[in-house]
Structure 1
Amino acid sequence: MPLTVKICGLSTPETLDAALVAGADMVGFVFFPPSPRHVSLDVAEKLGRQVKKAVKVALSVDADDALLANSIEALRPQILQLHGKESVARIRDIKQKFGLPVMKAIAVETAADLAALPGYAAVCDRILFDAKAPKDATRPGGLGAVFDWHLLEGLDLKLPFMVSGGLNEENVAEAVRITRAGGVDISSGVESAPGIKDPDMIRNFIRAARATEELAT
């Protein structure tokens, strides 16, 4: 099956265009002020209008209903990415209130971190496995850290799932080979500085990710 490639944390027309032209399947926009990738509602609205075919993803971290509503109105996303400590009950409420599919990020460091997976899988539409942030981190993702992909080997998950955390054009093939993930998600791995996406790095990563499809056939 084709690999789903998501470029997250886009914030300028130029880098968004680079991702779209290179063939990104999903483009992510961050609504979380502590992140260097945070976009205002006005910017999100303008960037959202630039997207014609790719799936727009609105990323938030433990957001309240007001922030979710505002981000949805501005971006018009097809899916919500919840990257905080949202409970199963909270996700159920969000889906009921806003009527959009949800992708839940699960931070992974050890096998014990997968204990919550069945509960989330029961209410979510997609799972994203990301590296766990250090305890003193100010944000949960986009930190360029890799987790042990072998923790996902043989994972029997009925939902589509993606891997993130420390990916780049050199290691994406290994990540897909080990995890058998149906998708990859990158943010800091295509940046020249925190929050500053590099068009060439975006293109190179998508090209490398697509090459894994050929290896799988």
Structure 2
Amino acid sequence: MTLAKICGLSTPSTLDAALRGGASHVGFVFFAPSPRNLGFERAAELAARVPDHIRRVGVFVDPSDELLERAAPHIDTVQLHNTAPARAAAIRGKLACDTWAAVAVRTRADLDAAQTYAGAADRILYDAKTPEGASLPGGMGIRFDWALLDGFRHPLPWALSGGLDPGNVAEAIRRTGAALVDVSSGVESAPGVKDMDKIAAFLKAANP
């Protein structure tokens, strides 16, 4: 059984599609520049629809304490992008919840950053490094070479992200052995617009 997170959900219908399809995690983005950004009222509405056995993941980019505190009632897990290990450790200690740290990957050397989160996070999310100057740290449909993970000694439990979609997720799981996969733009019809059929197809492909 491969766990699967559908990230960047913003409507009841697409959230329900993820739940129906068997997602283990659902992701809510709290980052204003993102087309998937949620206000707290909508986040509360969506979070209330999620059964207790499904994890609600809040996605943040080097967040302030104020943002974390306002989002905290609606999430079970914090996913941090562009956040230094010391800051991640402080957030983990303060919120006392499952904490994921994203590591942006383009080369094998990029994987070394994973080691710095040992003791600071509970899980590493390997994501594709976005181009220089990109406004978003993820959710752009870019993938990295999965062969970079061959033989790598992971310091923590980990998840695979970056450019996954219904057509390649089964191959990604076979190739990397990922126990958890994460998708956002790969199940959209336009930036920030989730597609219920693509969500269903992704989840079926992840667990045929």
Q: Partner residue of 2:78?
A: 80
Q: Which amino acid aligns with 2:185?
A: S
Unaligned runs of 5+ in 2: none
1:99-178, aligned counterparts within 5 Å? 99-178=96-175
How far is the alpha carbon of 1:158 from its aligned partner? 5.0
The answer to whether the aligner puts 1:20 opposite 2:2 as a matched pair is no
Name the SS for the 1:50 alignment partner: coil
Distance in 2, matches of 1:89 and 1:158, equals 16
> Would you say the 8 A contact 2:115–2:155 is kept in 1?
no
Q: Partner residue of 1:41?
A: 40
Superposition TM-score, scaled by structure 1 size: 0.93
Q: Partner residue of 1:69?
A: 69
Q: Partner residue of 1:214?
A: none
- Deviation track 1:137-183 (CA, whole Å, cap 9, x = no partner) reads 10100000010100111222252211111111111122112211111
Distance in 2, matches of 1:88 and 1:49, equals 31
> Would you say the 8 A contact 2:89–2:119 is kept in 1?
no
Distance in 2, matches of 1:6 and 1:17, equals 13
How far is the alpha carbon of 1:48 from its aligned partner? 0.3
Bigger mean CA offset, 169-178 vs 132-141: 169-178
Q: Partner residue of 1:186?
A: 183
Across the aligned residues of Structure 1 and Structure 2, the Cα RMSD in angstroms comes to 1.0
Bigger mean CA offset, 168-177 vs 188-197: 168-177
Which of these residues, 185, 204, 208, is aligned with residue 207 of structure 1? 204
- Deviation track 1:109-161 (CA, whole Å, cap 9, x = no partner) reads 00111121111133211111000011121010000001010011122225221
Name the SS for the 1:116 alignment partner: helix
Distance in 2, matches of 1:128 and 1:162, equals 5
Identity across matched positions, percent: 50
Unaligned runs of 5+ in 1: 212-217
Name the SS for the 1:81 alignment partner: strand
Q: Which amino acid aligns with 1:103?
A: W
Q: Which amino acid aligns with 1:64?
A: S
